Amino acid sequence: MKKYSSTFFRIAALLALCLFLLAPASCGGGGGGGPAPITGPGLVGLDDTTSKTAPLLIVDYHTNTATGTASILSDLAADGDIAFDPALNTLTVTQSPSEVLFGEDSSAMDLPEYRAFLSFPLSSIPTDAVIDSATLEVFVDEVDFASTIPTFVDLIQYQNGLSLSSSDFDDPLVTSTSYRALDFYSSDAGQFVDIDVTGLMTIAQANLFSDFQVRFGLQSLLSGLARGASLKAKRSVNNKPRELDKIQQLRSSTGRPALANTAGKTGAPVSNAP
């Protein structure tokens, strides 16, 4: 009887130790003893600094008398991201950051969801122009917590012109089909990703918008059902240096406007979520 009791207690102690340590490998297997990697829906950071890597909109168009190409850097003062904290039910707006984020930060306790916002002035495109093609080029600084991140790019209009506000987190689409779906990959980090946004730019031009404004966010079951059929965007990757002489207006060497609001991601929330 003592033999069986001793064996029982040894097994129980071993199981308790395994549960306590929460080892990433099974108790009976080998492997490293480090912490398990954090995984989640994914978080993407897009560079928003200098002319060499900031978001760029390239538009080919024609009029009755001419053809043209406009290469337009995003308006850093109007760019930013918004983080929703589901535990506190708050939205935190960050304007003019050096990197805009979208996705879920799985390393943060409350798992905040970020959405990124980019704005491009369209003053260099004639009002009577017909859009032939449009490409949105972004430089990917980082891809975390997932190898594939399903993404929506939505054509919207900020509620307050060029000033990003918490209400823009859930801005309605310009039309029911003014979005595109694509995937970002962990292999995109450190490279340019070119996204075909011809359809979105055509809608912006038809409405004579003064700015092409888009929101990047995670695809989810709920958001996918809300949009209906998925409109996939063609995408490609390149690592070629930009031809800066083709860009209409370059940024300063620092890439930051003099009066930018550079509050950090950990700043105080600006509003409660609706």
Q: What is the pLDDT of residues 140-191, one digit of tens each?
A: 999 999 999 999 999 999 999 999 999 999 999 999 999 999 999 999 999 9
Element (H, E) at 68: strand 67-73
Asked if the structure places residue 33 within a domain, the reply is: no
User: Which of 237, 233, 236, 156 lies closest to 196 in space, CA to CA?
Assistant: 233
Total domain count for the chain?
Answer: 1
Asked if the structure places residue 263 within a domain, the reply is: no
Asked if the structure places residue 32 within a domain, the reply is: no
Name the residue range of residue 180's domain. Answer: 43-254
Query: Count H helices, E strands: the chain?
Result: 3, 14
Asked if the structure places residue 136 within a domain, the reply is: yes
Please, is 199 exposed, middle or buried when counting C-beta atoms within 10 Å of its C-beta (0-12, 13-18, 19+)? middle
Q: What is the pLDDT of residues 71-125, one digit of tens each?
A: 999 999 999 999 999 999 999 999 999 999 999 999 999 999 999 999 999 999 9
Share of the chain above pLDDT 90, in %: 71
Return the higher-pLDDT residue of 237 and 15: 237
Asked if the structure places residue 269 within a domain, the reply is: no
198/138 Cα distance (integer angstroms): 15
Q: What is the pLDDT of residue 180?
A: 96
Asked if the structure places residue 21 within a domain, the reply is: no
Asked if the structure places residue 188 within a domain, the reply is: yes
Q: What is the pLDDT of residue 262?
A: 30
User: Are 65 and 59 contacting, i.e. CB atoms less than 8 angstroms apart?
Assistant: no
Residue 16 reports pLDDT greater than 90: no
User: Which of 47, 57, 87 lies closest to 196 in space, CA to CA?
Assistant: 57
Asked if the structure places residue 271 within a domain, the reply is: no
94/137 Cα distance (integer angstroms): 22
pTM of the model: 0.80
Average pLDDT, the chain: 84
The 8-class DSSP code of residue 240 comes to: P
- pLDDT band per the 50, 70, 90 thresholds, residue 255: very low
